[in-house]
Amino acid sequence: PSEKGCRLTFVVNNALGADLSKAAFEIALFNEAGVVDRLTVLDFKDLPAGKTKVTRFDLAGADCGKLSRVLINSATECAGTGVEPAACMRALKTSTRTAIAFGV
């Protein structure tokens, strides 16, 4: 939880072999009943090749205690020299260290 709502922290690594000038993903948040609570886009901005980056997002009005699942719906932006737009979703691997289910 955060003063704004719910804080999600992501550790991301660009293993595409090329710098990304823009990477953004639409995520769906599910409540404890398994119903979609909201859809939102998380903008990770630039992701240099081979670099690990920690990024936090505060979701206003979201209650962390009621989240049961985070689903990455699609890549809304995946741009870089020589990078095809579908590469971000195709290469995406997810994992979590929380009780909340996380995946594609």
- How many helices and strands, by DSSP H and E, does the chain display? 1, 6
Tell me the residue range of the domain where 63 lies.
Answer: 5-103
The answer to whether the CB of 103 falls within 8 A of the CB of 71 is yes
Q: Please tell me whether the overall predicted TM-score, pTM, comes out greater than 0.85 for this model.
A: yes
Number of independent structural domains in the chain: 1
pLDDT in tens, 52-91: 999 999 999 999 999 999 999 999 999 999 999 999 999 9
Report d(CA 28, CA 67) in Å as an integer. 10
Residue 14 three-state SS: coil
24 in Cβ contact with 41 (< 8 Å): yes
What does the pLDDT average to over 14-24? 97
> What pLDDT sits at residue 51?
94
* CA 3/CA 39 separation, integer angstroms: 21
pLDDT in tens, 28-63: 999 999 999 999 999 999 999 999 999 999 999 999
What is the pLDDT of the chain when averaged over all its residues? Answer: 96
In CATH, what number is assigned to the domain containing residue 20? 2.60.40
Q: How high is the pLDDT of residue 70?
A: 96
